[in-house]
Amino acid sequence: DVKVTQSSRYLVKRTGEKVFLECVQDMDHENMFWYRQDPGLGLRLIYFSYDVKMKEKGDIPEGYSVSREKKERFSLILESASTNQTSMYLCASSLRRLVTEAFFGQGTRLTVV
């Protein structure tokens, strides 16, 4: 069974902290994505990666960075957390084909206080 695993379901961090959200997939997928989900806004793409050490900005990259040192792992980094980054964060992965479906993790609900 395909699996995308996010390291935490719930996180509470303080304003100004550096925050790491980790995602691991066991499907040997080339593509990995980080989305942010907010009520009424749907899912918005923060960053994606199509290969190890390769990354591209999505629609809302400000305040975030990413790291992909190994094919199976994709990390989202909040350099200095702010309250407006309180949200649900979803990681996904997919094969590197023309277009294909993405498989999602369970999500990390981050609260910044």
- Residues that bind other proteins in the complex, under the rule CB under 8 A: 4, 30-31, 33, 35, 40-45, 48-50, 56, 58, 90, 92, 94-107
Token pair 């719930």: residue: 10
CB of 18 closer than 8 Å to CB of 79: yes
Question: Is residue 18 within a helix (H) or strand (E), and if so which, with residue range?
Answer: none
Cβ at position 27, least distance to other proteins in Å: 13
Cβ at position 100, least distance to other proteins in Å: 5
Q: What is the DSSP letter of 72?
A: T
Q: Which is nearer to other proteins, 40 or 83 (CB)?
A: 40
Cβ at position 97, least distance to other proteins in Å: 6
CA distance 55 to 74: 10
Cβ at position 70, least distance to other proteins in Å: 17
Q: Which is nearer to other proteins, 17 or 56 (CB)?
A: 56
Q: Which is nearer to other proteins, 43 or 77 (CB)?
A: 43
Beta strands in 26-104 (DSSP E): 31-38, 42-51, 54-57, 64-70, 73-78, 87-94, 103-104
